[in-house]
């Protein structure tokens, strides 16, 4: 059976992936080494210690990984990649135009934010395509409910996955990752 990988960006809302690991075999976190030092700065000391401990364990167990790509699968000829590229260019052009606007107000700032989130989502989609092509896995973007509201029908497959993830209960802090792994390994549990 092919591995099912969730792709989660540190650009978009980052939380530790307990819920996602109930659904996905592994979570890919593109550009983790570059972005994590920026993300960790916003946490208080206790949150930082707990997050660092959890992430270290998740990486050591292979449940989280920073994807490396095989350059033998050029994406420029892939139709899905072309669509992402065109969508991304559209959002980048909007960001550039809005950034040049000399009048700054809340409406323009909100439009900038929305287009930036959409552009980041395009990057996550491109990472999914790259993983599917170079690693022969099923890969799906993971975005937060808040970010999802910006997407407005960008990807039908993502809509379905998001609905499924929203219906998976969020394990509380008392549930360990080991318990999640035990649950996933239970032959009595329906595996998708």
Extents of the domains making up the chain: 4-185
What is the pLDDT, as a whole number, of residue 62?
92
- Can you give the pTM of this predicted structure? 0.73
Q: Are 5 and 26 in contact (CB under 8 A)?
A: yes
Cβ-Cβ contacts under 8 Å for 85 (sequence gap 6 or more): 126
Q: Are 106 and 42 in contact (CB under 8 A)?
A: no
pLDDT of residue 15: 67
3-state secondary structure 45-85: HHHHHHHHHHHHHHHHCCCEECCCCCCCCCHHHCHHHHHHH
Strand runs labelled E in 96-144: 138-142
- Quick one: tokens of 65? 């990984």
pLDDT values of the chain reduced to their tens digit, one per residue, 192 residues: 688 999 987 765 566 688 888 889 999 988 787 777 776 776 677 777 777 788 888 989 999 998 887 666 566 667 888 888 888 888 889 989 988 887 778 888 888 888 887 888 888 888 888 888 888 889 988 876 555 555 554 554 544 455 555 666 678 878 888 888 888 888 877 655
């Amino acid at each position: 059976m092919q591995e099912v990988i969730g792709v989660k960006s540190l650009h978009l809302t980052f939380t530790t992936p307990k819920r996602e690991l109930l659904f996905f075999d592994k979570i890919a976190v593109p550009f983790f080494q570059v972005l994590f030092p920026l993300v960790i700065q916003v946490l208080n000391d206790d949150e930082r210690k707990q997050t660092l401990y959890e992430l270290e364990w998740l990486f050591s167990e292979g449940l989280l990984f920073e994807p490396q790509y095989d350059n033998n699968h050029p994406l420029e000829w892939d139709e899905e990649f072309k669509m992402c590229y065109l969508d991304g260019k559209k959002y980048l052009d909007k960001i550039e135009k809005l950034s040049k606007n000399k009048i700054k107000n809340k409406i323009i700032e909100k439009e900038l934010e929305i287009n930036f989130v959409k552009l980041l989502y395009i990057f996550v989609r491109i990472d999914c395509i790259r993983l599917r092509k170079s690693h022969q896995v099923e890969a799906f973007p993971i975005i937060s409910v808040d970010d999802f509201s910006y997407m407005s029908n960008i990807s039908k497959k993502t809509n379905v996955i998001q609905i499924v993830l929203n219906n998976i209960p969020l394990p509380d802090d008392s549930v360990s990752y080991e318990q999640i792994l035990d649950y996933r390994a239970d032959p009595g549990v329906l595996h998708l």
